[in-house]
Amino acid sequence: MLVVQEKSGPAAKRKLWKMPTGLTDPGEDIAEAAVREMKEETGLDCDFDHVICFRQAHGGLFNKSDMFFVCMMRLLPKYHKQLELGNDIEFTPQESEIAEIKWVEISDYINQQTWVDSPLYSTMNNAMLNAALNFDNDGPAHKIVGEKLEVGFRPGHNTLYTSLTNPSKL
């Protein structure tokens, strides 16, 4: 899994490794935003594959609702040969936002204590793990369902939508 550490903000204060993220531009689709943010934050070119899950929160910035989409991305074929040869892919961190970029095992990512202590984020991470384990398999079709979960490390609830059946029960 590709992760970044930010230079500032809540994740930086916690020294969290997180997935590349960002806001959509006006009129921009989720898939376009995911591809653009990956390029801006890491310098890597990729394709959008699918939405793994998303969560909805209310009362955020300017007392507005917020939706956060977790997307499965694929590196473009131009990187495949380098990886097959065991070579590293060069990252270009976004100078204003990103302190460091690296590949990690998904288990290392999801076992960061802040994530483990959060019902919301541990369930979101279970959805990501399930998607990673079944990435090249067709697997059974699942409906996207919502589950209201406590954030855990701060007051409040968010609704997490995922294709998992009983995602918080894994």
Choosing from 6, 28, 32, 40, the catalytic residue is: 40
Angstrom distance (rounded) from CA 43 to CA 143 = 33
Active-site residue flag, 40: yes
Angstrom distance (rounded) from CA 81 to CA 79 = 6
Taking residue 21's Cβ as centre, other Cβ atoms within 10 Å add up to 17
> Sign of the C-alpha dihedral, residues 140, 107, 115, 34?
negative
Angstrom distance (rounded) from CA 96 to CA 141 = 40
* Residues forming the active site: 40
